[in-house]
Amino acid sequence: MTPHIRAAEGDIAETVLMPGDPLRAKWAAETFLDGPELVNDVRGMLGFTGRWRGNRVTIHGSGMGMPSLSIYANELIATYGAKTLIRIGSCGAMQESVGIRDVIVAMTASSISTPSRGILREVNYAPCADWGLLRAAVAAAEGKGSAVHVGGIYSSDVFYDERPDLTEQMTRHGVLAVEMEAAELYTLAARHGCRALAVLTVSDHLLTHEALPPEDRQSSFGDMVEVALEAAFA
C-alpha cells in the first residue's frame, strides 16, 4: 500500500498502461484484458490488473497534469516494481501536417517545467522515450493502418494556455502536439531505469480548431490501447 494506491504488493504488473482518465482505465481493462481485477480506487483513481495474450498488465489512471502523474508513477515504480510505463492519451496538434485522429508516438517531450525541475535545476534535460518501445509502437500503429507521426511533443502545465506566442514557437520548432504528462513520465522512467513511452491520439487541433467528435473518442482510444499493448510485449 502507498498513500495513493491501496493494491497489495504483487497486485500490480511490471507493465503499466496509464491513461489520464480513470474511467478510460476501467473501459480499457474491461475491453482488452482477460480477468481484469480492480486493484486501486483511492480518490477514485482506478487501476486494474489482468492479462493480455497471457501477459500480465495493469491499466492505471494518471490523472491530469505532471504533478498527478508523478504521484502514481513514483509509487508504481518504487513500491510496486513497475518497469514499463506507457502513457495512452489525447493531445492537441501543433502542425498542419497532423490531422485529427492521427497517432503520435512521442520521441521527446519538451516543457517549461516538470516536477523534476527541482532536482535537475539548471539542466535543460531532454526527456526521451525508450527506443525499443517507440520502434515497436510505430510498427504496431503502421500495422493497423493508422496515420502515425513520430517526433517531439510539448508537455504543458496548463490546458488553458494564454501564450499564443508559445504555440507559435512550438509549431516553428517542429513540435507535433501538446499534452500534459509525458515529460515527467520520461524523466522518472530514466531516473529509475524503467522504459517509458507516450502513444497519443489527436483529439483537437490548435491551428485549425477542429476537434474529434465525442462519439469517435472511444474507437480512437481503443486503437491506442492495442498499439501500447503490442509495443509492450513485442
Residues that bind ligand HPA (CB under 6 A): 90-92, 156, 159, 178-180, 203-204, 206
Shortest Cβ distance from residue 25 to ligand HPA (Å)?
A: 17
Q: Give percent helix, percent strand, percent coil of the chain, each to the nearest 5.
A: 35, 30, 35
Query: How far apart are alpha carbons 53 and 141 in whole angstroms?
Result: 18
Give yes or no for a contact between 155 and 182, defined as CB atoms under 8 angstroms apart: yes
What's the DSSP call for residue 112?
S
One DSSP character per residue, 3-52 reads SS--PPTTSS-SEEEEESSHHHHHHHHHHH-EEEEEEE-GGG--EEEEEE
Report the catalytic residues.
204
Shortest Cβ distance from residue 80 to ligand HPA (Å)?
A: 27
Shortest Cβ distance from residue 154 to ligand HPA (Å)?
A: 9
For ligand HPA, the closer CB: 17 or 178:
178
For ligand HPA, the closer CB: 33 or 228:
228
For ligand HPA, the closer CB: 22 or 50:
22
Shortest Cβ distance from residue 109 to ligand HPA (Å)?
A: 12
What φ, ψ does residue 148 adopt, rounded to 5°? -120, 135
Shortest Cβ distance from residue 55 to ligand HPA (Å)?
A: 29
For ligand HPA, the closer CB: 41 or 210:
210
Amino acid found at 215? E
* Alpha-carbon radius of gyration of the chain: 16
Output the residue with the shortest Cβ distance to ligand HPA.
Answer: 92
For ligand HPA, the closer CB: 29 or 153:
153
Number of alpha carbons in the 13 Å side-chain half-sphere of residue 228:
34
One DSSP character per residue, 178-201 reads EESSHHHHHHHHHHTT-EEEEEEE
